[in-house]
Amino acid sequence: MSAGHADHDTDERQRSGLSGAAWTAAPQAWRDLWWLLNAPPFWPWQADDAADLFCLPLWTPAQAPSVQAWLCAQAEHPDALLAAFYGALTPKGAVAVTDFYRHDTPPPRLGRMAEALFNFFMQNSPAVQWLASGVPIFATPAAGAPKSAGKQQLGELDALWRDGDGQLVHAELAVKFYGLSAATASGTADLPSRARAAIGPDGVENWQHKLEKLCHRQLCHPLPEPWDTEPVQRLAHVRGRWFLPAPVTSISAWACTLGHKTADDWARVWGPGPWQSPVASNTQRFGPRLSRADLAALQLPPHVRVRFLRRVEWLGPVAQADDQRLCAPDDRGRLPVSDLLAMAPPHALQRVQMLGVFAQLPTGQWLEQWRAWVDAEA
């Protein structure tokens, strides 16, 4: 294993407080929970007028040790987490827990997965005093409306809790993946404006629409009784990744460098940008966007393995015990694209596949190092 991969793995494990073996042996749902809570805020442009909503933490620095200890305990004894997670996603036992990550099982929506994990944290962590989740908000009946008239539901509040100071907090949760249609290796000053027009995996949704919905509707709902007279702190807990196109030669050079998670290595591909934050984990927001032709032309180092990630694996870092489902680059570093497509999950979106690039750890397990957005078009 290269030093660069070892350093990246150590960085993530140190922040989680787990040993390498414990990190990779933990259930995927636990790594998803860790990622949902610890990944950097989705919207990285701090000077933007919406930044204040997206950068508020869920706990104070003083609470960080107790939250980390709690998260480690969930990894070591995950039964409660798994029961809550699978219970929320498989009502009435529609899908057996053992089948949840099967290749041929229809995946749940990522939003529902994130919601189940977030609710588990809210209801069990030492950082918050949970009050309610999924609180419906109804429109005030018009004057003179008959009592028989049904109430119109305007939406719902994702989560309400009190922080360590007793302050009422309302949070809206979202997990988003967007691909930018144009980005160059330099001149990224207008990236925030172009990022607002980025598209989602379905090719329809764009960030501008979701941003406006969050800021001007979801986070503006009046609170129902008994919280309607209290001051409230609002925050958007949004996590996800941005994928930017770049010349294949640049991506190949980046993919073959050691320590390619560093801000300097990302800057070699896309020039100056938000990935150059002093916080190393900020680079985890970003990845390359490739066409299938780009994928065929990509050159990778010989020690990595790749496969398309299933939809249920799009959140946190993915680990697996062996390389039986992984493809190796050939002696030129090229990928067998036809083999990869044949192995693609049957329930994945046809427009976008998520490529996972894995490296082997000293434990013998394989851990995802980075991922790429692969368009369906050649």
Rounded to an integer, what is the distance from CA 108 to the centroid of its chain? 15
pLDDT tens string 57-89: 899 899 999 999 999 999 999 999 998 998 888
pLDDT level of residue 104 (50, 70, 90 thresholds): low
**Torsion 321-306-341-345 (CA) sign:** positive
Answer yes or no: are the C-beta atoms of 191 and 275 closer than 8 Å: no
From 7-16, 73-82, 158-167, 233-242, the region with the lowest mean pLDDT:
7-16
pLDDT level of residue 5 (50, 70, 90 thresholds): very low
pLDDT tens string 109-139: 889 999 999 999 999 999 999 999 988 888 7
Q: Is the pLDDT of residue 7 over 60?
A: no
68-74 contacts at long range (C-beta below 8 A, 24 or more positions apart): 68/16, 68/17, 69/17, 70/124, 70/125, 70/126, 71/16, 71/17, 71/33, 71/34, 71/37, 72/16, 72/17, 72/18, 74/30, 74/33
**Contacts for 304 with CB less than 8 Å, ≥ 6 apart:** 328, 329, 357, 358, 359, 369
Greater model confidence, 65 or 192: 65
Neighbours of 346 (CB within 10 A): 9
Q: Which two tokens stand for residue 62?
A: 């003083």
Which residue, 214, 166, 189, is CA-closest to 51? 214
Instruction: Report pTM.
Output: 0.88
Q: Is the pLDDT of residue 28 over 80?
A: yes
